[in-house]
């Protein structure tokens, strides 16, 4: 009986803490970063990025560069969300300018962290995971901020389409990487998308966000239709590209993933989160998406960020991606509340689940980073080596 309870406790501890097993940590030693493809403007920006990294002192850790950029990006995006909680309001012009600057700074720092790692000889799987983790969060806040700039709260399902497309595209990029062992970039990729977002921020700063609601001459359609169409076409092409990579078979034995699992297995996590997100929004009695699009899409986006990070970890450790995830507790609570006749106030419950989601994401990322850093005998934000007394034996 004692062994049974110990076994149960180990399972609970695993689900709550989501610790990496010794086998997964061992798999990190086999991981090597692999990427392929160059986007349209990357060769031009490489000149700027090579110049910029030379301005950074050699004692600065790459992860410090990444986290500084992310903090700036989050602060500017949250400032816009505070001014425009329903994505229909108009914020002061300087807030749009700050978002343009914040995103460009994030893009610049995100582009040079890898160069700094190679420059200082500190490249590691932890740095790669940390970079992808920051990107997953940036994707969420930037996509929502862009929608706010165009005041798409007046068209909540269009706003949901743009945000969900960004979340799913980011996930599918790492899904194909989990299958092929290589992260593929297209001609139009993240750099071009970020520059497009900067342009939208600057347009709202110079002409006001109302410009996106104005009708175009001759065509007679709102200006925001143009970027929405670009998203629709771009995501369609991107999804087709990723689908070909996934269905052509993986780099594992018999065409399996890098972990030896089915190439379709990561699709289950994607389907569950997407199904929860769409179902809760469509069945909401108080119309959470229509009245509170920012907080709702932020909530669903952070869940996507969590499952995407777990996919990256599965790829780097060559392990199976588990379907069960603590981040799904929030959507499950909202879904059950709807199923049983809205016993609790939906808006209050949304905020409660949102807070739980943030805590869960921070807990998972911090615990995973610390565990990997301990295993690799390095620090997260320092280039110094760990003393022997602190090293993981």
Residues with Cβ within 8 Å of 6's Cβ and at least 6 positions away in sequence, in order, are none
In a domain, 300, yes or no: yes
Q: Is residue 332 part of a domain?
A: yes
Angstrom distance (rounded) from CA 339 to CA 141: 30
Tell me if 228 is assigned to some domain: yes
Q: Which residues of the chain have pLDDT under 70?
A: 1-18, 388-393
In a domain, 28, yes or no: no
Residue 215 backbone dihedrals phi, psi, to 5 degrees: -80, 140
Q: What is the pLDDT of residue 4?
A: 46
Among 31, 132, 155, 291, the active-site one is: 132
CA 68 vs CA 242, 262, 282, 297, 346: distances in Å? 31, 37, 37, 24, 35
Q: Are 247 and 240 in contact (CB under 8 A)?
A: no
For residues 20 and 125, give the distance between their C-alpha atoms in angstroms, rounded to a whole number. 14
Q: Which domain holds residue 74?
A: 39-381
Q: CA-CA distances (angstroms) from residue 45 to 51, 185, 195?
A: 10, 15, 11
In a domain, 262, yes or no: yes
Residue 291 annotated among the catalytic residues of the structure: no
Instruction: Report how far apart, in Å, the C-alpha atoms of 133 and of each of 103, 171, 284, 313 are.
Output: 16, 12, 30, 10
CATH code of 114's domain: 1.20.120.1760
How many domains are there within the chain? 1
- The residue among 88, 107, 158, 129 whose CA lies nearest residue 373 is 129
Looking at residue 41, the DSSP 8-state letter turns out to be S
Structure confidence at residue 19 (pLDDT): 77
pLDDT at 9: 43
Q: Is residue 388 part of a domain?
A: no
Angle value at C-alpha 30, between 29 and 31, nearest 5 degrees: 95
Closest by CA to 25, choosing from 318, 259, 253, is: 318
Give the predicted TM-score (pTM) of the model.
0.92
Own/partner long-range contacts of 349-358 (Cβ < 8 Å, ≥24 apart): 350/288, 350/292, 350/295, 350/296, 350/299, 351/295, 353/299, 353/329, 354/295, 354/298, 354/299, 354/302, 354/330, 356/329, 356/330, 357/299, 357/302, 357/303, 357/306, 357/327, 357/330, 358/302
DSSP notation for 347-369: HHHHHHHHHHHHHHHHHHHHHHH
Q: What are the φ/ψ torsions at residue 310 (nearest 5 degrees)?
A: -65, -35
Q: What is the pLDDT of residues 187-201, one digit of tens each?
A: 888 999 999 999 999
Contact 220, 189 (CB under 8 A): no
- The pLDDT, as a whole number, for residue 8 is 47
Q: Are 95 and 79 in contact (CB under 8 A)?
A: yes
Query: Per the domain annotation, does 78 fall within a domain?
Result: yes
The reported pLDDT for the residue numbered 1 is: 46
How high is the pLDDT of residue 18?
Answer: 61
Is 23 part of a structural domain of the chain? no
């Amino acid at each position: 009986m004692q062994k049974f309870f110990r076994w149960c406790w180990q399972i609970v501890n695993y689900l709550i803490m989501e610790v990496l097993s010794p086998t997964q940590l061992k798999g990190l030693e086999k991981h090597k970063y692999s990427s392929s493809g160059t986007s349209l403007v990357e060769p031009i920006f490489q000149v700027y990025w090579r110049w910029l990294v030379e301005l950074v002192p050699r004692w600065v850790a790459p992860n410090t560069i990444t986290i500084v950029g992310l903090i700036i990006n989050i602060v500017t995006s949250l400032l816009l969300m505070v001014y425009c909680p329903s994505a229909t309001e108009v914020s002061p012009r300087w807030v749009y300018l700050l978002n343009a600057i914040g995103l460009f700074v994030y893009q610049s720092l995100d582009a040079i962290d890898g160069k700094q790692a190679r420059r200082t000889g500190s490249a590691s799987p932890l740095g790669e995971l940390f970079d992808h983790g920051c990107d997953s969060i940036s994707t969420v806040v930037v996509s929502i901020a862009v929608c706010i700039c165009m005041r798409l709260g007046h068209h909540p399902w269009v706003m949901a389409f743009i945000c969900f497309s960004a979340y799913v595209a980011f996930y599918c990029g790492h899904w194909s990487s989990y299958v092929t062992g290589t992260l593929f970039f297209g001609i139009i990729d993240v750099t071009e998308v970020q520059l497009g977002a900067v342009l939208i921020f600057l347009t709202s700063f110079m002409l006001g966000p109302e410009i996106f609601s104005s009708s175009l001459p001759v065509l007679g359609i709102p200006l925001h239709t143009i970027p929405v169409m670009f998203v629709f076409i771009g995501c369609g092409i991107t999804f087709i590209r990723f689908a070909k990579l996934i269905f052509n078979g993986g780099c594992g034995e018999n065409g399996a993933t890098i972990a030896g699992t089915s190439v379709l297995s990561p699709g289950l996590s994607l389907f569950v989160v997407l199904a929860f997100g769409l179902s809760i929004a469509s069945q909401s009695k108080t119309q959470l998406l229509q009245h509170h699009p920012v907080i709702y899409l932020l909530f669903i986006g952070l869940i996507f960020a969590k499952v995407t990070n777990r996919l990256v970890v599965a790829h780097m450790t060559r392990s199976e991606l588990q379907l069960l995830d603590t981040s799904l507790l929030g959507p499950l609570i909202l879904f059950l509340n709807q199923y049983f006749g809205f016993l609790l106030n939906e808006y209050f419950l949304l905020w409660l689940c949102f807070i739980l989601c943030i805590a869960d994401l921070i807990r998972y990322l911090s615990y995973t980073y610390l565990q990997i850093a301990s295993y690799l005998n390095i620090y997260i934000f320092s280039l110094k080596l760990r003393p022997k007394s602190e090293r993981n034996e």
